[in-house]
């Protein structure tokens, strides 16, 4: 199984900051990685797919990169609506697995 280790688990930041969340995989794969945003009481929402493709309707301040064993999600200028939990998910091989999540909180 591919284990996805996300860091940090919590991130404190201010509006306007640039933040980066990292997912490290226990084995290498190419690009079948997605990033999601989750808010309390709501279904998760896809932000990035295939490691770097921006989901339709998602602001361009969100970007994804990486391959192999290290993938990153960057929010270039944090907005009030961005305070949420983010998690990665690989679909390169079964069983598909998720990172444990990164909570982005207001500093």
Partner 1 sequence: EVQLVESGGTSVQPGGSLRLSCAASGFIFSDYYMSWVRRAPGKGLEWVANINQDGGARFYVDSVTGRFSVSRDNAKNSLYLQMNSLRVEDTAVYYCARWDGRFFWGQGTLVTVSS
User: Interface with partner 1 includes 29 (CB under 8 A)?
Assistant: no
Nearer to partner 1, 67 or 97 (CB): 97
What is the 8-class DSSP label of residue 81? G
Instruction: Determine, following the binding rule CB under 8 A, whether residue 44 of this chain makes contact with partner 1.
Output: yes
Partnered with residue 53 across adjacent β-strands are: 49
Stretch that binds partner 1, among 12-20, 21-29, 67-75, 96-104 (CB under 8 A): 96-104
| 50 lies in the site for partner 1, by CB under 8 A | yes
């Amino acid at each position: 199984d591919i284990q996805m280790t996300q860091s940090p688990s919590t991130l404190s930041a201010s509006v306007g900051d640039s933040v980066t969340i990292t997912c490290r995989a226990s084995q290498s794969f190419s690009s079948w990685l997605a990033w999601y945003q989750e808010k309390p009481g709501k279904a998760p929402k896809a932000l990035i797919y295939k490691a770097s493709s921006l989901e339709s309707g998602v602001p361009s301040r969100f970007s994804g990169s990486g391959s192999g064993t290290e993938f990153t999600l960057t929010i270039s200028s944090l907005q009030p609506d961005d305070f949420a939990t983010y998690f990665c998910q690989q679909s390169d091989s079964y069983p598909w697995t998720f990172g444990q999540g990164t909570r982005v909180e207001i500093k």
